[in-house]
């Protein structure tokens, strides 16, 4: 048997081009369905687990998919905005706990998610380092953000402008990192969390500046008439919030009118959920209440339709590739007819020749399986990142 193995091994090495082609074909046939299966399962798991953990979402009337994708996975598609008032109404109803979300801005290509600290509780997010944000301008990083950008507690991260052409726009805000979350294997790993009020400051709805009533520099005052002080554009507005300038930051108008992308709603019980849904269906306000489970379920139905199509396609490709492999074997046997005849003339039994050929097939299949195992492990390691990229594109 050792002799057969030796001869088969030498043959595989000698016909290395043929062996590599066969191994590649087999790896593709085996790995492609595995890859798709693992990714689809992970995709389903990610989409459904977050949807299941979020009973209701309140947002502006419009695309329920955009609303759910932005609220659950912080997608770039910004839904229509709603007032902070909507959240206060839910809180005052005493039927549910509500968590505001304002996922509109980004910092170094990662979404900046404005929320409150209850978000960490409902998503079961624990801190790896540091603490939760306590004052305006502080942020907590998802595990992957901290890892990829090599940022630690005490470092700073600067928000990105919404548009590069917005030259007269709002200054980017330099935010202090006060905590890093544990890996959760969800979209929370790739987000920067701040207090909802910090996102309003990023948007320019709140600001901090020198006290106009006490400034001595006349170049900062444009006009002071009838108790109205008009400052010039030279007036310093702060782009970083710290203990010294914290109290100069303020918001104008009623915070109830400030924007949110959505509100995550966690009803106290089934009855409260029904009552809340009834209230939102009954009124004709410009807001809608969606059940992410149903929305994502529909989205997955479409994905599964595509998957069925893909499975058929892969099946056809697999059969074709398998036939091509058989053809390669057949042609290779034809080409090696003289070599095999010589072996026979040298006294090699026909059974031994068959064993030799079978061993060659086994070696090639064995290599293919080993490579597929590596591919499987690599998919397992990177599946979350792949799925996050896939969901971002949805």
Partner 1 sequence: MHRKYFTIPLFLLALISCNTPKEKNREVLTDKKTVFVSNYPLYYFASRIAGDSTFNFIHPEFNNTASLAWSPNAEYVAKLQNVDLIVFNGAGFESWKKKYSLPTSIIVNTSLSFENELIKVKEVETHSHGGQGAHAHYKTASTTWLNFSHALSQAQAIKEALENLNPENKPLFEKNFSELKSQLEVLHKEMKQVALRAKEKSFIFSSVQFEYLKSGYSLKGHTINWSSKKAINDHMKEDFKQIQGNLKSKYFIWDSPTTEANLSFLKSQNIIPIILNTGHASSGDFLEEMEGNIQKLNEAIDLGTN
- Residue 190 CB, shortest distance to partner 1, in Å, is 16
- Residue 136 CB, shortest distance to partner 1, in Å, is 5
- Residue 123 CB, shortest distance to partner 1, in Å, is 12
| Non-local CB neighbours of 119 within 8 Å, separated by 6+ positions | 99, 101, 113, 125, 193, 264
Q: What is the DSSP letter of 359?
A: H
Q: Nearest-5° angle of CA 302, CA 308, CA 314? A: 135
What gap in Å lies between CA 143 and CA 134, rounded to an integer?
19
Nearer to partner 1, 250 or 298 (CB): 250
Nearer to partner 1, 100 or 292 (CB): 100
Nearer to partner 1, 54 or 64 (CB): 54
- Residue 306 CB, shortest distance to partner 1, in Å, is 27
| Non-local CB neighbours of 58 within 8 Å, separated by 6+ positions | 82, 86, 87, 90, 98, 262, 263, 265, 280, 287, 288, 289
Backbone angles phi, psi at 91, to 5 degrees: -60, -45
Residues of this chain that interact with partner 1 (CB under 8 A) are: 91-92, 97, 116-118, 121, 124, 126-128, 131-136, 138, 182-185, 195, 197, 207, 209, 212-213, 222, 227-233, 235, 237, 243, 246-247, 249-252, 255, 373, 377-378, 380-381
Nearer to partner 1, 117 or 319 (CB): 117
Tokens coding 261: 């992308």
Strands 174-181 and 138-141: parallel
Residue the block writes with tokens 């549910």 = 96
Nearer to partner 1, 340 or 386 (CB): 386
Over its C-alpha atoms, the chain yields an Rg (Å, rounded) of 31
- Residue 254 CB, shortest distance to partner 1, in Å, is 11
- Residue 97 CB, shortest distance to partner 1, in Å, is 5
Nearer to partner 1, 216 or 345 (CB): 216
Q: Let me know: does 307 contact 33? Beta carbons within 8 Å.
A: no
- Residue 321 CB, shortest distance to partner 1, in Å, is 26
What are all long-range contacts of 37-45, with beta carbons under 8 Å and residues at least 24 apart? 38/376, 38/379, 38/380, 38/383, 39/379, 39/383, 39/386, 39/387, 39/390, 40/303, 40/307, 42/383, 42/384, 42/386, 42/387, 43/303, 43/387, 43/390, 43/391, 44/300, 44/303
- Residue 371 CB, shortest distance to partner 1, in Å, is 12
Nearer to partner 1, 253 or 347 (CB): 253
Nearer to partner 1, 182 or 291 (CB): 182
């Amino acid at each position: 048997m050792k002799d057969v193995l030796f001869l088969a091994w030498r043959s595989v090495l000698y016909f290395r081009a043929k062996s590599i082609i066969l191994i590649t074909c087999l790896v593709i046939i085996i790995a492609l369905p595995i890859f798709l299966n693992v990714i689809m399962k992970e995709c389903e798991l990610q989409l459904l687990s977050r949807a299941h953990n979020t009973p209701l979402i309140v947002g502006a009337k419009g695309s329920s998919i955009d609303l759910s994708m932005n609220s659950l996975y912080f997608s770039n598609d910004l839904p229509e905005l709603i007032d902070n008032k909507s959240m206060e109404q839910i809180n005052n109803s005493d039927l549910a706990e509500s968590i505001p979300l304002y996922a509109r801005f980004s910092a170094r290509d990662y979404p900046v998610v404005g929320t409150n600290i209850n978000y960490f509780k409902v998503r079961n997010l624990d801190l790896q380092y540091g603490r939760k944000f306590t004052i305006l301008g502080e942020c907590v990083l998802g595990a992957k953000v901290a890892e990829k950008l090599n940022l630690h507690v005490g470092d700073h991260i600067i928000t990105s402008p919404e548009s590069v052409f917005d030259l007269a726009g709002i200054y980017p805000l330099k935010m202090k990192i006060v905590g890093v979350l544990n890996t959760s294997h969800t979209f929370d790993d790739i987000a920067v969390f701040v207090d909802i009020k910090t996102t309003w400051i990023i948007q320019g709805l709140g600001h901090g500046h020198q006290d106009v009533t006490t400034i001595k520099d006349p170049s900062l005052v444009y006009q002071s008439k009838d108790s109205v002080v008009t400052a010039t554009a030279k007036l310093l507005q702060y782009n970083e919030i710290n203990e010294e300038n914290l109290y100069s930051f303020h918001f104008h108008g009623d915070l109830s009118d400030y924007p949110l992308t959505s509100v995550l709603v966690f009803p106290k019980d089934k009855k409260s959920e029904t009552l809340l849904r009834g209230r939102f269906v009954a009124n004709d306000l410009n807001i809608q209440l969606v059940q992410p489970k149903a929305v994502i379920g529909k989205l997955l139905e479409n994905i599964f339709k595509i998957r069925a199509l893909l499975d058929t396609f892969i099946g056809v490709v697999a059969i074709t590739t398998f036939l091509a492999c058989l053809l390669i074997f057949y042609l290779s046997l034809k080409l090696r007819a003289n070599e095999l005849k010589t072996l026979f003339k040298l006294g090699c039994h026909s059974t031994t020749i068959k064993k030799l050929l079978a061993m060659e097939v086994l070696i090639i299949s064995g290599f293919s399986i080993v490579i597929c195992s590596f591919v499987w492990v690599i998919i397992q390691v990177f599946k979350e990142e792949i799925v996050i990229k896939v969901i971002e594109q949805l």
